[in-house]
């Protein structure tokens, strides 16, 4: 089809123009009445639209009927060849139907061009959004730790550019879901507004493209390309720290997009206020919209995440194994997933059901890496479960014997197994002062020496605490 089009075009434009503007075009695919062509740059695309739109339209209609449409793909950085992220690699098939096309008729190109940029049904630009289907809102587990960021992201996805969350700045530590959430926003926009140009890019990749464009003298193409985007997601913007030229170019693009009401979403491993090496004018823009953080997930969220992943993979693990994993890997969701995957791999390889002892054995290395010291919360929970008393009781004023005992044991364990000061421990256990903690520890030590049953309790708890 495109070859037929070219024939018509050739008859209607000067030879030199044909060579410059039409020969470099590559036909990519034909879907019933939509022909997709690839052009070398944004500038190229705009030039075609400006100067040849009428000719193109007529040619396409002539070849594909009155519903015929043309879509463009733009090549971004030529240097990376077939790995070019901005071209969808469609097979360039010239299927047999072409032979049956009618003989080209002369096309009258003298019809005046009224508004080259608004031709409904003809112009459509495609860019591969670089989104990964595995990240969606559906499989992003909601918890206290991500509620604000998630709901802001959701709002942005519903109305990109139309909320006050522009830019949306998502920050948090490694493995807490920044990329997942940012990608989910992009995908969700694409589903709801297929015609919007969405682009996900890692800041590092953006930087590489920028450097390449400097080298190849194509900086205008680079900027023009980014300024076309409707929803731009830039992942890990801390990469821009200390890179002034890159920040300048990003500043230009940012301003252009923001002024045109386009949506910008950024992720970062730090809060804007903690970002160093970033120009003040850029930083202040980062704060224009909404900054929302992703925090370390609490135990319930960690369990939900594991359960969700298992369900997605159609597998099951015993509840105590899940809880063990969730308890022990507590500050990185990527590691949480990693533990699950390695458990499954082991069990498949060894054809063994995973029970708790096996899980502990297999995750030894994982957990040594990621556990922090035992927390006072954990001790409290542990001791209360052991004595089967309500969690909040140990912090209360009650002087009931078994509660006092549990409280004193908790304080003793906190002193011996955490780095917390006596003052902090006292504060934690119901706002008591440090002398109460000293007294508690002394009491426990005395009882260990004199009361065999008590000694067994404490040893038992300590052993279990260490094992967990």
Report the interface residues with ligand ADP, using CB under 6 A: 139-141, 146, 172, 174-180, 305, 333-334, 337
The CB-nearest residue to ligand ADP is 177
What is d(CA 185, CA 27) in angstroms, rounded to the nearest whole number?
31
CA contacts within 13 A on the Cβ side of 299? 9
CA 28 to chain centre: 30
Q: Which does 334 bind (CB under 5 to 8 A by kind): Mg ion, ligand ADP, none?
A: ligand ADP
Q: At what angle do helices 42-51 and 53-64 cross, to 10 degrees?
A: 80
Per DSSP, what are the bridge partners of residue 293?
171
User: Of 36, 63, 179, 209, which one interacts with Mg ion (CB under 5 A)?
Assistant: 179
Tokens matching residue 59 = 């040619």
Q: Which of residues 74 and 336 has its CB atom nearest to ligand ADP in the complex?
A: 336
Q: How do 263-268 and 231-235 pair as beta strands?
A: parallel
Q: Is 179 annotated as a binding residue?
A: yes
Q: Which of residues 4 and 332 has its CB atom nearest to ligand ADP in the complex?
A: 332
Site string for Mg ion, 422-451 (x = CB under 5 A): ------------------------------
CB of 135 to ligand ADP, least distance (A): 6
Give Cβ neighbours of residue 260 (< 8 Å, ≥ 6 apart): none
What is d(CA 87, CA 385) in angstroms, rounded to the nearest whole number?
58
Segment contacting Mg ion (CB under 5 A): 172-180, 334-342, 410-418, 425-433? 172-180
Of 413, 442, 444, nearest to 428 by C-alpha is 413
Q: Which does 432 bind (CB under 5 to 8 A by kind): ligand ADP, Mg ion, none?
A: none
Of 247, 255, 114, 233, nearest to 183 by C-alpha is 233
Tokens matching residue 313 = 């993979």
CB of 340 to Mg ion, least distance (A): 19
Looking up tokens 């001791």 gives 383
127 class by beta-carbon count within 10 Å (0-12 exposed, 13-18 middle, 19+ buried): buried
Q: Which does 417 bind (CB under 5 to 8 A by kind): Mg ion, ligand ADP, none?
A: none
Q: Is 65 annotated as a binding residue?
A: no
CB of 287 to ligand ADP, least distance (A): 20
Q: Is 267 annotated as a binding residue?
A: no
Q: Which does 2 bind (CB under 5 to 8 A by kind): Mg ion, ligand ADP, none?
A: none
Q: Is 59 annotated as a binding residue?
A: no
For position 183 contacting Mg ion by CB under 5 A, the verdict is no
- What residue ranges bind Mg ion (CB under 5 A)? 178-179
Binding-site sequence positions for ATP: 175, 177-179
């Amino acid at each position: 089809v495109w070859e037929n089009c070219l024939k018509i075009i050739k008859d209607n434009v000067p030879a030199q123009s044909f060579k410059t503007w039409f020969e470099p075009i590559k036909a990519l695919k034909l879907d019933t009445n939509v022909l997709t062509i690839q052009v070398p740059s944004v500038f190229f695309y705009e030039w075609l639209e400006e100067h040849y739109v009428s000719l193109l339209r007529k040619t396409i209609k002539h070849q594909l009927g009155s519903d015929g449409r043309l879509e463009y793909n733009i090549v971004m950085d030529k240097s990376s060849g077939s790995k070019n992220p901005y071209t969808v690699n469609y097979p360039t098939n010239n299927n047999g139907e072409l032979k049956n096309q009618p003989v080209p008729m002369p096309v009258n190109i003298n019809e005046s061009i009224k508004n080259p940029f608004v031709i409904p049904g003809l112009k459509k630009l495609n860019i591969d959004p670089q989104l990964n289907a595995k990240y969606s809102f559906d499989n992003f587990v909601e918890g206290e730790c991500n509620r604000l960021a998630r709901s802001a992201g959701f709002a942005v996805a519903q109305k990109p550019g139309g909320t006050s969350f522009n830019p949306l700045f998502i920050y948090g530590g490694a493995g807490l879901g920044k990329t997942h959430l940012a990608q989910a926003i992009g995908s969700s926009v694409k589903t709801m507004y297929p015609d919007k140009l969405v682009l996900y890019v890692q800041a590092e990749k953006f930087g590489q493209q920028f450097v390449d464009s400097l080298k190849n003298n194509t900086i205008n193409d680079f900027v023009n390309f980014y300024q076309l985007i409707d929803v731009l997601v830039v992942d890990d913007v801390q990469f821009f720290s200390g890179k002034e030229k890159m920040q300048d170019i990003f500043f230009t693009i940012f301003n252009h997009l923001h002024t045109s009401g386009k949506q910008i979403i950024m992720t970062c491993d730090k809060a804007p206020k903690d970002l160093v090496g970033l120009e003040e004018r850029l930083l202040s823009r980062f704060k224009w919209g909404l900054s929302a953080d992703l925090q370390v997930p609490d135990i319930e969220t960690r369990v939900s995440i594991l359960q969700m992943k298992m369900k997605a993979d159609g597998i099951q693990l015993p509840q105590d194994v899940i809880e063990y994993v969730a308890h022990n890997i507590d500050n990185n969701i990527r590691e949480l997933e990693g533990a699950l995957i390695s458990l499954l791999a082991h069990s498949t390889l060894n054809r063994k059901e995973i029970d708790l002892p096996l899980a502990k054995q297999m995750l030894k290395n994982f957990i040594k890496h990621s556990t922090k010291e035992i927390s006072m919360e954990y001790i409290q929970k542990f001791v209360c479960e052991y004595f089967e008393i309500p969690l909040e009781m140990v912090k209360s004023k009650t002087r009931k014997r078994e509660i006092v005992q549990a409280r004193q044991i908790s304080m003793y364990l906190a002193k011996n197994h955490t780095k917390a000061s006596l003052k902090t421990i006292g504060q934690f256990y119901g706002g008591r002062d440090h002398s109460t903690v000293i007294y508690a520890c002394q009491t426990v030590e005395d009882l260990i020496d004199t009361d065999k049953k008590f000694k067994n309790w404490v040893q038992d708890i300590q052993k279990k605490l260490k094992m967990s």
